[in-house]
Amino acid sequence: MAVDAILYVRKSVDKMIFVDKMPLWVFFKNTRDVFKKDELGLDIATIAFPAALALTADPIASLIDTAFIGHIGPVELAAVGVAIAIFNQASKIAIFPLVSVTTSFVAEEDAVGSLIHKENDIEIPERSFSGDGEKEELIPRVADTYKSPTSTNERRHIPSASSALVIGAVLGLFQALFLIVAAKPILEYMGIESDSPMLNPARQYLTLRSLGAPAVLLSLAMQGVFRGFKDTKTPLYATSLGDGANIILDPIFIFVFRMGVSGAAIAHVISQYLISLVLLWRLMGQVDLLPPSIKDLQFSRFLKNGFLLLMRVIAATFCVTLAASMAARLGSTSMAAFQICLQVWLAASLLADGLAVAGQAILASAFARKDLDKATATASRVLQLGLALGLVLSVVVAVILQFGSRLFTDDPDVLQMLRLGIPFVAGTQSINALAFVFDGVNFGASDFVYSAYSMVLVSVVSTLCLFLLSASFGFVGIWIALSIFMSLRAFAGFWRIGTGTGPWSFLRL
């Protein structure tokens, strides 16, 4: 009996120790301090709040476009909804991988470069980009390429910043040419047939708005650079200025000049070039954008990790674009209601992306410095804040859609359809917030391989759900499938950290 009792106690103690070492504890670490104004809390707030405002500025501008166009008619509203879905799909495919990689690389180079500036001898850290143990140098020859400013007038040389601008400009030109030439067949693929009344306004809007693609991609690349510097105030200033101009120009071009959907597109293009010019002017004052040689641009590093995130963003945006296509096939009423729901859904969810940006920038710097305690604390804090934000957003979105629907349209059929989507748009905000924050946390750890392959798997399952549920339940089925999509995204992020695998293996030590 005594032996059995000893063995039982020993097993219980071993079990307790095992539980204490389980990585799941990171989600509940220091929950009482989630809103504490300590150094970490202030660091997150300083980055996240301006980033959230900057990220939501463009969706809010699109919402205002939607509101103005909605008063032209439901056909125009539906047409623009399809065109915006196509443009956003193309933009995200082209630039999202670049922005995410740029933020991590610039943060890492700046962190290591700062240490080099303070110490004459520093070990260049190595990190795993593949998540399977394969190691490679994080910042090649950083000691030779980084130049930390010795005065306020001297500009830094950050190779990743120069690379991001070159790639962003080239991708922007390709996107513009592609969308202008292929506008009609793409719209037909999205479900707008040649005899549809939506075709002409959708084609006009998509063609004109595509002229702003170079500015959009270049400005987003520069935002990635500023995020790497933990400076989210400059992008906020630029986007606020540009989107403010868009809001002013919208009614002038749409109603005063009677240009309809073409006026909305022109106003948006002007605002994007204004944003790009402001960001370029501010960046030139901080960074030496002319590299000493082509080799310093390190395109191979961008292409390797950018390709992984390209897989991810194609998989992610494919589901949303497919949902828009299915809504368009249900008719202009369903598409108009879907467009309103989608814009509110994205605008609210992107507030959480501000936390993701903060988490990514701080984590990338912490991993580069090998400060694992700060990495753990940062991941815990941003995830807890993301859950709290999501709960608040659920209430806010429900109120906005319930009582403010007529701001977007007066059509009774669209309003009736819109009410069916409110429970899904509002109810999934907590899930959406966690999904976005998990993305930022894993990007900060440079866990690009897992992020890519897990999203492909999520997309496959969600696509099957879209086909099955939309066929059975129509408009409601589409939103059920999108809710499943975001739930699986959040679970994928939870699984990586919760199991302590890949770059998070140190949590099990």
pLDDT tens digits along 417-432: 888 888 898 889 999 9
Q: How confident is the model at residue 463 (pLDDT cuts 50, 70, 90)?
A: very high
Q: Which of 266, 156, 152 is CA-nearest to residue 206?
A: 266
Give phi and psi for 29, each to the nearest 5.
-70, 130
Q: Out of 135-144, 241-250, 256-265, which region has the weakest mean confidence (pLDDT)? A: 135-144
Q: Is 147 helix (H, G, I), strand (E, B) or coil?
A: strand
Q: What share of the chain is helix, strand, coil (3-state, %, to 5)?
A: 80, 0, 15
- The mean per-residue pLDDT over the stretch 71-88 comes to 84
Residue 490: phi and psi, rounded to 5, are -65, -40
- As to burial, measured by CB atoms within 10 angstroms (0-12 exposed, 13-18 middle, 19+ buried), residue 441 is buried
Pick the more confident residue, 81 or 252.
252
Q: Tokens at residue 452, please?
A: 């890519």
- Mean of the pLDDT values across residues 324-350? 82
The answer to whether 433 touches 396, Cβ cutoff 8 Å, is no
| pLDDT value for 172 | 92
* Residue 53 amino acid letter: L
Let me know: does 358 contact 55? Beta carbons within 8 Å. Answer: no
Is the entire prediction scored with pTM above 0.85? no
Is residue 123 scored above 60 in pLDDT? Answer: no
Biggest alpha carbon–alpha carbon distance for the chain: 93
The SS3 of residue 135 is: strand
Chain centroid to CA 133: 27
* Rounded Cα–Cα distance for residues 64 and 393 (Å): 19
DSSP 8-state symbol, 23: G
Predicted local confidence at residue 460, as pLDDT:
94
Specify the pLDDT at position 119. Answer: 54
| The pLDDT value given to residue 8 | 40
Alpha-carbon distance of 318 to 481, in angstroms, equals 13
Model confidence at 471: pLDDT above 80: yes
- Residue 126 per-residue DSSP state: E
> 136: alpha, beta or left, given left = phi > 0 and alpha = psi -120 to 50?
beta
Check pLDDT > 60 for residue 184.
yes
Torsion of CA 312, 314, 319, 320, to 10 degrees: 110
Say if residues 174 and 214 touch (Cβ distance below 8 Å): no
- Which residue reads 């690349």 in tokens? 221
Are 240 and 52 spatial neighbours (Cβ–Cβ below 8 Å)? no
Q: For residues 367 and 444, is the Cβ–Cβ distance under 8 A?
A: yes
Over range 421-445, report the average pLDDT.
Answer: 90
Q: Is the pLDDT of residue 282 over 90?
A: yes
> Can you spell out the DSSP letters for 340-383?
HHHHHHHHHHHHHHHHHHHHHHHHHHHHHTT-HHHHHHHHHHHH
Query: What would the pLDDT profile of 345-393 be if each residue is shown by its tens digit?
Result: 877 777 788 889 899 989 988 888 888 888 888 989 999 999 999 999 9
| Cβ contacts of 227 within 8 Å, gap of 6 or more | 47, 51, 99, 102, 103, 106, 107, 235, 357, 360, 361
Pair of tokens at residue 494: 């939870």
What is the distance between the alpha carbons of residues 226 and 289, in angstroms, rounded to a whole number? Answer: 13
CB distance 495 to 476 below 8 Å: no
The Cα 167–Cα 156 span in angstroms is 20
Handedness of CA 413, 419, 420, 425 (dihedral sign): positive
What CA–CA distance (Å, rounded) separates 91 from 334? Answer: 25
Residue 85: pLDDT band by 50, 70, 90 thresholds?
confident
Q: How far apart are the first and last CA of the chain?
A: 34
Residue 295's pLDDT is 65
Residue 2 in tokens: 């005594």
- CA-based nearest residue to 387, from 431, 447, 426: 431
Mean pLDDT, the chain, integer: 81
Q: What pLDDT does residue 154 have?
A: 64
DSSP state of 254: I
Bridge partners (DSSP) listed for residue 147: 157
Q: What is the pLDDT of residue 312?
A: 86
Q: Provide, rounded to the nearest whole percent, the portion of the chain with pLDDT above 70.
A: 83
Most confident range, picked from 28-32, 37-41, 133-137, 457-461: 457-461
Give me the helices (H) in 159-198, please. Answer: 159-181, 183-189
Q: Which candidate, 355, 443, 487, places its Cα nearest to that of 48?
A: 355
* Cβ–Cβ under 8 Å, residues 378 and 363: yes
* CA–CA distance, 507 with 24 (Å, rounded to integer): 9
Tokens coding 416: 């009736």
Q: Which amino acid is at 99?
A: V
Query: Which residue, among 183, 238, 186, has the nearest Cα to 211 in the 3D structure?
Result: 183
**pLDDT the model gives residue 16:** 38
Q: Output Rg (C-alpha) for the chain, integer angstroms.
A: 24
pLDDT at 2: 44
